[in-house]
Amino acid sequence: MTAPVTTSNLPQRPYERFVGRAAELASLLARMSPDDRTWVVVVDGIGGVGKTSLALEAAYRLSEGPGRFDFVVWVSAKRDTLTAHGILPRRADFVNLRDVFEAIGSVCGRPDLPQLPEGQQRTLIRTLLGGPRRVLLVLDNLETVDDESVTAFLRDLPTPAKAIVTSRHRIDVALSIRLEGLGPAESEELIRSEAGLRGLTLTDAEVAGLARRSGGVPVAVLWSLGLMSLGHGTASVLRRLGSGTGDIAEFCFDRSVEALGDGDALKMLVTAALFEAPVGRDLLGQAAGLGSDVIGRDDALQRLIQLSLINSGPGGFSLLPLTRTYTLRLLGERPGLWREAEDDWFRAMLAVAADYRGSNVLWRDRARLRTVGPHFETAYAMTQNPRRAYALAAFAAALIGYYDVVGRWDDLVDVAGDLESYGRTAGDDDAVSDAVWALNWVYGQRGEFEAARASLERAAGSITTPVHRIQYLLGCAQTSRRAGQRDDALAFVKLADLVLPQLDPVVVAAHRANVAFERGKIARDDGDWEEADLWFGAASLVFDFDEAQGAIAGGHQPASELERSLGLIGNRAVVEHRRGNLAAATDMLRRALLFTREHGSVSNVATLLVRLAVVLIDQGEYEEARGAVTEARELASATGMQDELNESARLLALLSDR
């Protein structure tokens, strides 16, 4: 018996091999199953991102094998296509609902449908789509169709028929699948495959360059390879691709951007282009000057999402590389808009950076630095413009915090050096103090004690406030302690005690706790666990880990700086361990480590891992200890933390025999 065959009018696949989109294709096929209640899926994204290819591949697979449709109807409203020779016009298959009806009748065996009166046409269509044989409709490029009755028809599609729609504009019919650029590996696979078909030989560097410049947008890849096959050099093609002009820009973006007009949505788009990494909704709205107008902000974002000009993901909102390039070119053509957008963006970032300057015993949201840090890098580069040099200290201090959180200590040292130079030139003692404190911390952690001391001594002439004096003395104590000069460390701490009465009442408790913390570390290094516990307990009254953890879990701001709280619980765990309370020490370290991974710095993670590994070894948990110390060594190697590197080496040698 001959197996049934699907009747369709599908066009030929324009590709030899379908590359990438495995997750999107699987999702689309699952939604077309008769067991799934979804009846329409809209595949949306910018022009050329691969919507048509995905829909066509899905349609072919749905016309074959088990679960296939009996009829597959394809209609395309595409009016042009991008080639290496330019944008070429093409005849659209449909411009209104009547054309869709005609295609359904033709594929489903009723070519007489167009001759019927309109009422009978609609009745027949519902009969054809209503079963028992299953019909799949694929409507390509719906955004070019002005007939609202097509959308209304899709909303009321008879069961068991289903539809796949592609559109640059998101429509509220049913489920949407947003296509973004292919990932780097998939982009390179597509480039190599298509280059081979054209007889082109590209180096690995050229393949990687095209993948990066195209942002994984397939039409940009094919357009570029088409130009190369016509004899254009690779470097020339990549320059054209990155210019944001010409046929590729017009094909992908012109119609969508024209639809924005000159309102809030355009301002939001150009502001998003100034962010080189994903950005949260609130910050994007602030930077676009719409922070207080929440409704206007959200309406503008929704418009951009609808037009496939902005993408929303776990990290926030972002633009595809081609979208960003096009938008920056658009800004270049409108200098007034560029100046306004850039000024608003800079002011918004400066307001965020202000939260990360000042006394380091006060609360600051270090977890947020992981997301806003890349934006600080952009803003810091802009301070090289004399018009914005006034903000260098604020962004440098914020960047120092970011680089500490993510463990980029070499970059931290570079920025701290810039900040110190700026502070001396501008007579900004706070900038000098912030810079040398950071340098002292890094050099001390790396075991470079002479450099750590030298950084502090350079700040001696800039000590103009009690806070500066406290920071200076604690830096000296910390460096001496790490260098094994216990008596000198204790002498510096006692001098810091004498400065405490001079402090502002708002910060005196936190600085007193900071001094107690350092005294506890001296006692810890002496092996005096009782005294260490007393000092750590005193510091914990201010730097309270439980309070901080509870506050953040409840969506509130902790009372004090979180990094100190995390450091204290780690040190108290050392005391518990040395007292023989292994279970308590393990519990404290696990809690601290879990919280530090999200809210603390890489350096603190490395320290906690080493301490946890020591306790685990004493408990006979060798495999877990080996994993902890291996990770600690990797983190310590990246930052140059000398104590953690030495201890990791010792522990791994110990574990090699277990």
Distance CA 159, CA 131 (A): 7
For 102-122, what is each residue's pLDDT tens digit?
A: 999 999 999 999 899 989 999
Cα–Cα dist 378/349, whole Å: 10
- Give the total number of structural domains in the chain: 4
Q: Which two tokens stand for residue 323?
A: 């979208």
Q: Is 55 in contact with 166 (CB distance < 8 Å)? A: yes
- Whether the predicted pLDDT of 285 surpasses 60: yes
**42 and 114, same domain (yes or no):** yes
Mean pLDDT of the chain: 89
Residue 25 lies in a domain: yes
588 and 535 share one domain: no
Do 126 and 221 reside in the same domain of the chain?
A: no
Report the number of secondary-structure helices (H) and strands (E) in the chain: 31, 10
Q: In whole angstroms, what is the distance from residue 130 CA to residue 18 CA?
A: 32
What percentage of the chain carries pLDDT values higher than 90?
A: 55
| CA dist., res. 86 & res. 88, Å (int) | 6
Would you say residue 641 lies in a domain?
yes
Does 271 score more than 50 pLDDT?
yes
Task: Give mean pLDDT, residues 307-315.
Answer: 83
Are residues 171 and 199 located together in one domain of the fold?
no
Structure tokens at 506: 């708002």
Give me the pLDDT at residue 61, please. 93
Encode pLDDT of 559-611 as tens digits. Answer: 878 888 999 999 999 999 999 999 999 999 999 999 999 889 999 999 999 99
- Cβ within 8 Å of residue 515, ≥6 positions away: 470, 474, 493, 496, 497, 500
Average pLDDT over residues 219-241: 84
- pLDDT of 444 > 90? The answer is yes
Over 50: is that where the pLDDT of 391 sits?
Answer: yes
For the segment 198-209, the average pLDDT, to the nearest whole number, is 90
Whether residue 269 lies inside any domain: the answer is no
CA distance 304 to 301: 5
My answer on whether 473 and 611 are in the same domain is no
388 and 526 both lie in a single domain: yes
Q: Where among 124, 151, 178 does a domain terminate? A: 178
Looking at the fold, whether 420 and 532 belong to one and the same domain comes out as yes
Domain co-membership, 80 together with 124: yes
Q: What is the tens place of the pLDDT at every residue in 469-488?
A: 988 999 999 999 999 999 99
Q: pTM for this structure?
A: 0.79
Parent domain of 643 = 565-655
Count CA atoms closer than 13 A to 563's CA, side-chain side. Answer: 19
- 516 and 405 inside one domain: yes
Tally of CB atoms within 10 A around 243: 13
Domain shared by 473 and 436, yes or no: yes
* CATH (domain of 55): 3.40.50.300
C-beta of residue 94 within 8 angstroms of C-beta of residue 100: yes
pLDDT for residue 1 is more than 80:
no
Angle, nearest 10°, between helix axes 51-61 and 22-31?
50
* In a shared domain, residues 525 and 388: yes
Same domain, 537 and 588: no
Distance from C-alpha of 200 to C-alpha of 132, rounded to nearest angstrom: 50
The residue from 512, 543, 574 where one domain ends is 543
Q: What does each C-alpha distance from 51 to 86, 217, 353, 596 come to in angstroms?
A: 20, 10, 40, 42
* Whole-number pLDDT of residue 246: 67
Instruction: Report if residue 335 sits inside a domain.
Output: no
Q: Which two tokens stand for residue 18?
A: 């379908």
Q: Which of 250, 278, 308 is at the close of a domain?
A: 250
What distance in Å separates the CA atoms of residue 238 and residue 212, rounded to the nearest whole number? 10
CATH number at residue 521: 1.25.40.10
Give pLDDT, residue 517: 96
